Amino acid sequence: MNLKQARNFLKEVEPFLSSDRPQLVFDMSQVRHIDAGGVDVLLQCMREAIKHDGDLKLASVSPQAAVVLELTRTGRLFEIYDNSTQAVKSFSSFLPNALKHYYPHPAHHVTPIINPEAFVGGSDSADVAA
């Protein structure tokens, strides 16, 4: 993902980011190359999502992209999951008990694949991230 591709991508994603409480998962399995422009766009998306009280998570990050995220110190800013299903499910993990009755989901445990040392406790990562 270079600067030009990243800008086009940002235009496509913008309507979702500006919605109320956007909960987005970017499946990065097809991203083999990412440069500073691509990382910048990911950060912009994250910023916009947080501004609207939402969140952005990454899934299926390729080792190549993971190296660049680690290099640019941005890997620790995102919750990263093995696949998009886990990432989507993780959004409902943090519902209050009262609402879990209406949004049931199977018990699961997610483990970030990138930068596990950033999450103290390893397997307790979901709690820490919450």
The contact set with another protein (CB under 8 A) reads: 2, 21, 33, 35-37, 63-64, 66-68, 70-73, 95-96, 99, 102-103
Give min distance, CB of 90 to another protein, in A: 15
Give min distance, CB of 112 to another protein, in A: 14
Q: Is 28 exposed, middle or buried (0-12, 13-18, 19+ CB in 10 A)?
A: buried
Specify the residue, 67 or 129, whose C-beta has the smaller distance to another protein: 67
Q: What distance in Å separates the CA atoms of residue 68 and residue 74, rounded to the nearest whole number? A: 9
Give min distance, CB of 68 to another protein, in A: 7
Specify the residue, 72 or 111, whose C-beta has the smaller distance to another protein: 72
Q: What distance in Å separates the CA atoms of residue 72 and residue 68, rounded to the nearest whole number? A: 6
Q: How many other C-beta atoms lie within 10 A of the C-beta of residue 38?
A: 22
